[in-house]
């Protein structure tokens, strides 16, 4: 995961956890991320031509959140800007 910014560090140290934070923490522990990434990695775009792709781990977590919360690509992008718990789960700062 990425190094936390000051705002993200302050967010993670707050006392009460929201239902969304609790759900994402539970999913983080239940889903075998490394095994899924190993299955997808041979087919995932490599850096070279054009823009560098986001890390596979980040995109996989975003894909899962889109399905869990029934979000389109633009809605997920907005959520990542606005919702710190989702941003941290995806490994973005």
DSSP 9-38: HHHHT-SPPPHHHHHHHHHHHHS-HHHHHH
How many domains are there within the chain?
1
Within-domain flag for 86: yes
Which pLDDT does position 5 carry in this prediction?
63
Is 67 inside any structural domain? Answer: yes
Render pLDDT for 9-44 as a digit per residue (tens, 0 to 9).
666 666 788 999 999 999 999 999 999 999 999 999
Q: Would you say residue 87 lies in a domain?
A: yes
The 10s digit of each residue's pLDDT in 40-91 is: 999 999 888 788 899 999 999 999 999 999 999 999 999 999 999 999 999 9
Radius of gyration of the chain (CA): 14
73 part of a folded domain:
yes
71's CB contacts (< 8 A; 6+ apart) are: 65, 79
Indicate the pLDDT class of residue 7, thresholds 50, 70 and 90: low
82 inside domain: yes
DSSP state of 54: P
- Which residue range forms the structural domain that includes residue 65? 56-92
Q: Is the separation of the CB atoms in 83 and 20 below 8 Å?
A: yes
User: Is 64 domain-assigned?
Assistant: yes
């Amino acid at each position: 995961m990425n190094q936390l910014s000051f705002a993200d560090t302050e967010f993670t140290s707050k006392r009460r956890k929201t239902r969304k934070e609790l759900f994402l923490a539970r999913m983080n522990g239940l889903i075998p991320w490394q095994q899924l990434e190993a299955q997808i990695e041979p087919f995932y775009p490599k850096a070279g031509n054009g823009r560098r792709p986001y890390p596979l781990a980040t995109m996989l977590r975003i894909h899962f959140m889109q399905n869990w919360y029934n979000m389109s690509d633009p809605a997920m992008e907005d959520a990542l800007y606005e919702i710190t718990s989702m941003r941290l789960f995806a490994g973005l700062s």
